[in-house]
């Protein structure tokens, strides 16, 4: 089983799927929206992904995450009845791990049920099965890209403004360590400036 990949991202789409080149071999990896922007960087171009290998019937799929904690949350989610990898990715795209843990701890069924594929009964099942397992304290450590909540909020804000997820992730990654240290409003302004410069006149 593949548990970790370090390489250069050579293709990506708006839904979070990427192709990562590892010493000449391209691996297709599905990721939650926003996760790539939070991933650890190795060198100037390479990223480090924590990978879950999912095998079913004749299909082998790779799912990548910014941290081991994010991958652990994914594995907890797919362990819940009627939650498959696609819905689990949707949950982590809509609610990064800390926000998801908060919604589950608070029993916020409305917030959970707003995620595509999650109805009221499934939201209740998530709260029932994961409230004790998915705790905020386990997810509190920031990721290499600047903190799960802050980075994800910036990506979400940018995508809500019409930017593609891939563009938003790149803008957040370009902010580097400042994501841990600067107020969200200032970071958003700087990310917009970076995107404007990239797009040109």
* In the chain, where the domains are located: 4-65, 68-139, 148-199
CATH architecture of 68-139: Orthogonal Bundle (1.10)
Does residue 51 surpass a pLDDT of 60? yes
- At residue 200, the pLDDT reads 60
- At residue 143, the pLDDT reads 40
Q: What is the mean pLDDT of the chain?
A: 84
Average pLDDT over residues 104-119: 92
- Work out the number of other CB atoms within 10 angstroms of the CB of residue 72: 18
Does residue 148 surpass a pLDDT of 50? no
Domain 148-199 of CATH type 3.10.450: no
Does residue 5 surpass a pLDDT of 50? yes
Decide: pTM greater than 0.85. Answer: no
- Lowest pLDDT segment from 45-49, 86-90, 161-165, 185-189: 161-165
**DSSP characters over 110-155:** HHHHTSTT--HHHHHHHHHHHTTTS-GGGG-SPPTTS-HHHHHHHH
Does residue 201 surpass a pLDDT of 60? no
Does residue 192 surpass a pLDDT of 70? yes
- CB contact set of 199 (below 8 Å; sequence gap of 6+): none
- Reported as a single tens digit per residue, the pLDDT across 59-110 is 899 999 988 889 999 999 999 988 999 999 999 999 888 788 888 988 999 9
- At residue 149, the pLDDT reads 61
Per DSSP, 67 falls in state S
109-144 b/e with 16+ CB inside 10 Å = b?
A: bebbeebeebeeebbebbbebbeeebeeeebeebbb
Does residue 190 surpass a pLDDT of 80? yes
Report how far residue 37's alpha carbon sits from residue 151's, in angstroms, rounded to the nearest whole number: 7
- At residue 127, the pLDDT reads 94
CATH architecture of 4-65: Beta Barrel (2.40)
- Work out the number of other CB atoms within 10 angstroms of the CB of residue 48: 16
Does residue 55 surpass a pLDDT of 50? yes
Average pLDDT over residues 145-156: 63
Per DSSP, 39 falls in state S
- At residue 195, the pLDDT reads 86
Spatial CA neighbour of 144 closest among 176, 191, 112, 98: 176
């Amino acid at each position: 089983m593949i548990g970790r990949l370090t390489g250069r991202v050579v293709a990506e789409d708006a839904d979070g799927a990427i192709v990562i080149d590892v010493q000449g071999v391209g691996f297709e990896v599905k990721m939650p929206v926003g996760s790539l922007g939070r991933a650890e960087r190795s060198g100037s171009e390479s990223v480090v992904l924590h990978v879950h290998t999912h095998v079913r019937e004749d299909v082998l799929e790779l799912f990548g995450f910014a941290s081991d904690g994010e991958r652990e949350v994914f594995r907890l989610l797919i362990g819940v009845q009627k939650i498959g990898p696609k819905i689990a990715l949707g949950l982590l795209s809509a609610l990064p791990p800390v926000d998801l843990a908060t919604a589950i701890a608070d029993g916020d069924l409305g917030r959970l049920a707003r995620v595509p594929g999650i109805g009221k009964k499934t939201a209740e099942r998530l709260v029932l099965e994961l409230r004790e397992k998915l705790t905020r304290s386990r997810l509190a450590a920031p990721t290499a890209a600047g903190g799960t909540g802050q980075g994800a909020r910036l990506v979400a804000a940018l995508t809500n403004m019409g930017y593609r997820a891939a563009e938003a992730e790149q803008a957040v990654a370009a902010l580097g360590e400042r994501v841990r240290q600067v107020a969200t409003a200032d970071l958003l302004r700087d990310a917009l400036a970076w995107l404007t410069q990239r797009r040109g006149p």
